[in-house]
Structure 1
Amino acid sequence: MNVGTNVSDDCVTEFNNLKLGKQYRFVIYKLDKDKNEIVVDQKGGRESTYAEFVSHLQNESRYAVYDYHAQTEDVPPRKVEKLVFIFWSPDTNQPVKQKMAYAAGKEALKKKLNGLSKEIQANEPSEVEEAEIKKIVLN
């Protein structure tokens, strides 16, 4: 693993397709097999649900951007839309080196993705439940 983690151009392209083109609900990123470049792992269409997104988070670390839409409890309710950066690093038996590689690459990826509103670091499934995301987006 080298010191700097590269971010593939695809990562930025697909992020912009999500943010500006509204082509996706979410984009999930991963480190390539050599652990020195962040690449696009999966994309979810605009009709994808939050539950579908969570189902793609496996027992390995991932980065993701989710275009979350919520409504406030205000009267009248306001629509809130935020691009949420999620760093998924589950407390599973993934190798320590791999967890460290993901931790090291997080800032490199975030620097390339302009327009993120919120950030979540999740280590267990309860931390990516929709109620948690909604709370963060509405605060």
Structure 2
Amino acid sequence: MTSAISVEDRCLDAFNTLKRSRHVTTVLYRLSDDLDTLALDFEGNLTHDELLKALPSDPCLVAYELCFADRDGSRHEAILLISWSPRGTSAEQGAAQAACYAALRNQLDGVDLFIEAASQSDLEYHHLVQAARM
């Protein structure tokens, strides 16, 4: 693994599509096998439950538009950037994942909430909504 992580242009393009389109709510990013490039893995419209089922057993990053109703019934959206590092992630994968997460945090404009998750319980809907309301 090299010390610098490159982010493919398609990753940034997919995030910008998520920000402006109702047809894209989820973007999954994956690390290349040599752990030096972040690539686009999936771009589409997933519900929260579908997102949880789509999470791989390997680390990845996810941009996700969380939709929820506030206590007064008004509809809200929050764009999340999720660092998914499931238990069993190697130290090398973890270091590359952290570098990618930092790189995306600096390049993506419009993220409302940054989440680090190691299990699906970290991504329960009510936890995410509670964090987005703060």
TM-score by length of 2: 0.93
Partner of 2:92: 97
Q: Between Structure 1 and Structure 2, how many residues are aligned?
A: 134
SS in 1 for 2:25: strand
Partner of 1:49: 47
Report the aligned-residue RMSD. 1.2
SS in 1 for 2:33: coil
Structure 2: which 5+ runs fail to align? none
Report the more deviating stretch, 17-26 or 82-91.
17-26
Q: Tell me the amino acid that sits aligned with residue 83 of structure 1.
A: I
TM-score by length of 1: 0.90
SS in 2 for 1:90: coil
Partner of 1:66: 64
CA distance in 2, matches of 1:138, 1:50: 17
SS in 2 for 1:10: helix
Structure 1: which 5+ runs fail to align? none
How far has the Cα of 1:87 moved from its partner?
0.7
Q: Choose which of 100, 103, 107 in structure 1 pairs with 2:102.
A: 107
Q: Tell me the amino acid that sits aligned with residue 87 of structure 1.
A: S
Pairing of 1:1-139 with structure 2 (within 5 A): 1-45=1-45, 48-74=46-72, 77-92=73-88, 94-139=89-134
CA distance in 2, matches of 1:59, 1:99: 13
